[in-house]
């Protein structure tokens, strides 16, 4: 069976696939998605209290949104916040483009 570009078997996993972000190579500085971050109390209720790479946190928030069916059925780019997400977003609904900006307020560097 031939593979299409969307079925490339050699494709590396990404956070969007629900997998972990690859750690930085030895001797290199981690990029923004690889840096370990500590979630706030509000965000920890969704992603857990452990330090995670930013990309993994975004992936976990998306998994939470999909698991709880919080995407607007009329506009899949929009997230309809439940009680837990309202504490993070401070709004009833946000677009997927706003989400990363709003999540950054709930992340602190782990040092």
> What is the sign of the dihedral through the CA atoms of 31, 34, 39 and 43?
positive
Q: Which two tokens stand for residue 25?
A: 């190579």
Give the pLDDT confidence of 24-62 residue by residue, as tens digits: 677 776 666 677 889 999 999 999 999 988 889 999 999
pTM: 0.70
Out of 5-9, 64-68, 74-78, pick the least confident.
5-9
Predicted confidence band at 77 (pLDDT cuts at 50, 70, 90)? very high
Burial 8-22 (b: 16+ CB within 10 A, else e): eeeeeeebeeeeebe
Domains of the chain in start order, with CATH, are 34-109 (1.10.245.10)
β-pairing verdict for 52-53 and 36-39: antiparallel
């Amino acid at each position: 069976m031939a593979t299409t570009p969307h079925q490339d078997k050699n494709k590396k996993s990404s956070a969007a696939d629900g997998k972990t972000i690859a750690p930085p190579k030895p001797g290199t500085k981690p990029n923004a998605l690889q840096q370990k971050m500590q979630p706030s109390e509000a965000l920890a209720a969704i992603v857990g209290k452990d330090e995670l790479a930013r990309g993994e946190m975004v992936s976990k928030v998306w998994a939470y949104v999909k698991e709880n069916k919080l995407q607007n059925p009329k506009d899949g780019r929009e997230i309809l916040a439940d009680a837990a997400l309202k504490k993070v977003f401070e709004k009833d609904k946000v677009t997927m483009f706003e989400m990363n900006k709003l999540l950054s307020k709930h992340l602190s560097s782990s040092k």
